[in-house]
Chain A
């Protein structure tokens, strides 16, 4: 297989994460990319590939000319919001592995802290896309769409609210140890969680990701070039995207089993490529715009059997000494919500040993995109 371990992430960069940052999205993007290139020890003029999300609003040409990047020979965008991150990285990696490009940058920059910038808040009065089937009934926000699945999950497997609380609390503890996290100074207790206002029952405020201004960028190159870089390279071991047969984004309600969806497609193709198995993972970064997505993903990616994710979480499985330390920077719930790009950056830091909460001996990491949309995932591995 030409792809496996042939490319590496050699640099990560990010801006500060916050609300109401002064910089524009372009300034944030360029700051994060510049920092990632410095981290890698690669000159801007060497960059010849760019990848991002279709929802990214900073165009390639502005990023390229404002940073002094070289001639670009490959650029791609991946659709479906929070499902896109691993795909954006994977497509640039494919271009590098195939010899189309040599040095790639993947970035995401967004200013979402202003409530008026929320995507659902701009729903048109006449809806033409697939949200026409749900939003006119008042199922308006992504959290509402996930809440229907969370309640059904509880119906099958028992009330999962205490497991959702455990996810939120564990990620907050990781964030409390992370100087970059928006919630670094905000402790959360179990009482805080259960006292929080309900948003879409059974999901309360703390089941929702943060709204963040900030940017994250990664630098990729060939594995054989990576050994010359400043940092220990992190290999891209496997990559897949997934769009299940009959899938409908966020409201994937119309297939026989909505819990066997696009993550399952991604997972099967990912593990087909891999030299290690789910139980051999040492750390994971699981897309967490809403806490139930962590439960659903733990099962879809084969870390837990169907219906067992809540027990896995309740037993401390996601903590630093648990079976699979997960979202170790605090994730979208408590570090920052940069559409999952900060999860990928954290996966890289874990495998090269410079994470805020380093997991001892971590050599392999799963990074996933949004369970509820067409998505993707990466398996990362520390270089020998």
Chain B
């Protein structure tokens, strides 16, 4: 299992949001920019940002099917899909994640042909391990 470090102060609202089942993103009230990953300030104008809950709905921007060799934690799962999802709020809000048919399914449940670019998806915030949560993406109706 690979985990992201979550003890970074300027990311606290993001990780705490996920623990509470919410996807929150940084937004700049000055220039209107949305940004991910979290930064210390606005990457566009340098001003202070605010955290805003987003819809958790988006579109598959790209997707790949991963084959061996991979790290031991993922070896039993090959081939599996990893997608880049663009959130509805902004093209600058893209997140890497796994696509699943339904909540709780394994990350290798779908084949590439089932998830073309442009597929609509919705976030399902699920545990990665050790109290860290991350959105997985289920196919949206």
Contacts and interface: CB of A to CB of B under 8 A. Distances in A.
B64 interface: yes
B64 A254 contact: no
27 contacts: A120-B71, A126-B5, A127-B2, A130-B37, A135-B2, A136-B3, A136-B4, A137-B96, A137-B97, A137-B98, A138-B70, A138-B80, A138-B82, A140-B74, A148-B84, A152-B62, A155-B117, A198-B67, A199-B67, A200-B64, A200-B67, A201-B64, A245-B43, A246-B43, A251-B96, A253-B61, A256-B92
Contacts of B62: 148-149, 151-152, 155
A184 B35 CA distance: 47
Interface in A128-161: 128, 130, 132-141, 144, 147-149, 151-152, 155
A127 B3 contact: yes
Contacts of A202: 64
A148 B63 contact: yes
Contacts of B43: 245-246
Contact of A151 (B79, B117, B128): B117
B4 A133 contact: yes
What 9 A-B pairs come out closest when comparing CB atoms?
Answer: A132-B4, A147-B64, A201-B65, A152-B62, A134-B96, A148-B62, A128-B5, A139-B82, A136-B2
Given A133-B96, A254-B37, 10 more contacts: A115-B69, A127-B4, A138-B66, A140-B70, A144-B66, A151-B62, A151-B63, A152-B84, A199-B67, A256-B91
A138 B3 contact: no
Contact of A137 (B35, B65, B70, B134): B134
Interface in B38-86: 43, 61-67, 69-71, 74, 77, 79-80, 82, 84
A213 to B, nearest CB: 19
Nearest to A148: B62
A197 interface: yes
Contacts of A136: 1-4, 128, 134
Contact of A198 (B65, B91, B96): B65
Interface string B101-134: 0000001000010000100000000001000001
Interface residues of B, number: 38
Contacts of A251: 96
Contacts of A139: 64, 66, 82, 96
Contacts of A245: 43
A248 B37 CA distance: 10
Contacts of B77: 138
Contacts of B94: 253-254
A121 B69 CA distance: 10
Contacts of B61: 152, 253
Contacts of A321: none
Contacts of A253: 61, 84, 94, 96
Contacts of A256: 91-92
B64 A151 contact: yes
Nearest to B107: A138
A255 interface: yes
A123 interface: yes
B7 to A, nearest CB: 9
B96 A255 contact: no
